[in-house]
Structure 1
Amino acid sequence: MRVGIVILPEHRWWAAEPLWRMAEEYGFAHAWTYDHLGWRSLVDKSWFDAVPTLTAAAMATSTIRLGTLVASPNFRHPVHFARELTALDDISDGRITLGVGAGGLGFDSQVLGQPELTPGQRVDRFAEFLELLDLILTRDTTDYSGTYYSAVQARRHPGCVQLPRLPFVVAANGPRAMQLAARYGSGWVTTGRGAEDQESWWRSVAELSLRFAEALAEQGRDPAKVDRYLQVDAAPVFSMSSVEHFRDVVGRAAELGFTDVITHWPRADGPYAGKESTVEEIASEVLPEI
């Protein structure tokens, strides 16, 4: 089991840099940031872009893997994003993982004044986004004409440090998105389904895990070669509410076959309200055990 941590892109860099350094020093396997233009209750608070944040984090660290949780087609185009990812992969010396999803509802889907998409249209767009991004990152030149995206002689050169391209970790809960995760993903990440209590949430996670196994079989993928990530703070109880609770969460995720769990750096208030001292305790007591 590997443990990762999300650091929200909300702090000025003088305050954020120590968090990224500590994530590496504490022994977390990977560190992530959100890819939003504004997010939920924090939409009127300080917020920074994911790409320059990860660029700075790559320069401040040397071993920890870094990534987006998750990149959004709501405001990104594969042609330009491929260039950004290639640069990130180069600057980090091959430590970038692309977490990518279909793009949620809310501020990101409204701020550009675009028409609201139906759930089916969002998955259609997501399929094009993944296909075109994969093509650009693996072929010398790409021409593409789709409903949502087009490309004319898009170049790959110099290509990613990681070959054939940086890994995709695809967020998916629904059946069509799971097929995309099984096709394009080096890993799959889920938040489970919304629930009012812990046990209901864990039951949803178990159900989704079984469905993803079926999707892998349909795509002819070897389950042993596809990592499974669980965003454990989608549960009703914050994973870092205590060391004991975190240890239980990791154990239950492992029992369901997950290879990785992702928690969040505690904040002074919600969401993810907690104590930073708990991070240090988990780093010293739990991470060495797993």
Structure 2
Amino acid sequence: MPERRTVFGAGVSTAVTDAPETLRLAAQADRQGLDLFSVSDHPYFADRLDAYSILGVALGRTTTISGLVSVTNLPSRPAPMLARTITSLSTLTGGRIVLGIGAGGLWDDIARLGAPRLGPGAAVRALEEAITLIRALSGGGDPVTFDGEFYQVTELQPAQVAPVPIWTGSVGPKSLAVTGKLADGWIPGHAADWLSERYRTSRSIIDEAATAAGRDPKDIATIYNLPGRITTTPLTTTRDHDGRWLGGSAEQWIEELTGAVLEHDAAGFVHFETGDAPRDITLGRWAEEIVPAVREATVHRL
């Protein structure tokens, strides 16, 4: 199997009041060599910026970094139009886009947008249809006709652009199985990490579904949203009583993440600062101290 390059990113705010800082941080992450920046997607809140508007503007101001919506609120973004959004951004940026996608969660808020309210089973079926259709609408080829339970298109020409990676934010067993069957990556919910019970029980479902679909489970990457402080001195305890990562000094981060890659097959990390330090300083420490050291320590992983 070829070597897999570990992905490193940073989460940025979607708050309207943080808009100038969000764009500055995305540009800084690009200059300092990170692989991606991510934003959340909550279009029902007026104090949040639209996620794909942020991606479009930020990617237009950067050169190498990719953008990720973690994760796209599928019920509010119908799959055929989401496919066009993704392929358009990929074309405009030279492929610097990853599609994060989820079945939907805050249904009371989603319903306020006018989107149909779906039960858990229906939401997962819609997710599976969406991934299938979005893939079909990229890569060129013959016109697509799709007559699904939730999506229908007729003789729709696929975009002449390569399919983008698709990462899910699946949580429940059925959506985890969809991840194993169809997705390229998985972002564990609730910022769970490689030592959590959520990871252990969920990843096995993904692997079983991948095997049943004739896929190699190792082809489905696990990328972690990882909140935590980056401190100037080591912390006595880097995890709380529930085992959740708190952070620590750069050296403590390097040791923890290197172990996650080499011992637990972690494929990537998106950092979210939880302390009071200035965001540009924290981002610089993440991108210029921690990330290069972990890359160097794990460069020969298989």
- Could you tell me the TM-score, scaled by structure 2's length? 0.78
Deviations along 1:181-233, one digit per CA (max 9) or x if unpaired, are 12322222212687xxx99x723223323332222222221234332212223
8 Å Cα contact 1:192-1:208 kept in structure 2: no
SS state at 2:91 partner = helix
Name the CA distance, whole Å, in 2 between partners of 1:257 and 1:216: 16
2:260 to 218, 236, 253: 253
Shift of 1:9: 2.1
Structure 1 stretches of at least 4 aligned residues deviating more than 6 Å after TM superposition: none
Shift of 1:246: 3.7
SS state at 1:4 partner = strand
Name the CA distance, whole Å, in 2 between partners of 1:173 and 1:104: 10
- The question of 1:220 aligning with 2:205 is answered no
Q: Residue in 1 aligned with 2:180?
A: 182
Change (3 A) 1:96 1:173: same
8 Å Cα contact 1:142-1:154 kept in structure 2: yes
Alignment of 1:1-12 (within 5 A): 1-11=6-16
Alignment of 1:136-215 (within 5 A): 136-138=137-139, 139-157=141-159, 159-160=160-161, 163=162, 165-191=163-189, 202-215=196-209
Name the CA distance, whole Å, in 2 between partners of 1:192 and 1:216: 23
SS state at 1:97 partner = strand
Q: Residue in 1 aligned with 2:285?
A: 281
Give the superposed CA RMSD. 2.8
Name the CA distance, whole Å, in 2 between partners of 1:204 and 1:223: 18
Letter in 2 for 1:250: L
8 Å Cα contact 2:29-2:283 kept in structure 1: no
8 Å Cα contact 1:232-1:249 kept in structure 2: no
Shift of 1:93: 0.7
Deviations along 1:110-134, one digit per CA (max 9) or x if unpaired, are 2224453221121122122222222
Shift of 1:106: 4.5
8 Å Cα contact 1:67-1:96 kept in structure 2: yes
Q: Residue in 2 aligned with 1:89?
A: 90
Change (3 A) 1:20 1:110: same
Consecutive unaligned residues of structure 1, counting only runs of 5 or more, are 267-271
Name the CA distance, whole Å, in 1 between partners of 2:116 and 2:89: 31
Aligned residue pairs total 271
- Could you tell me the TM-score, scaled by structure 1's length? 0.81
Q: Residue in 1 aligned with 2:297?
A: none
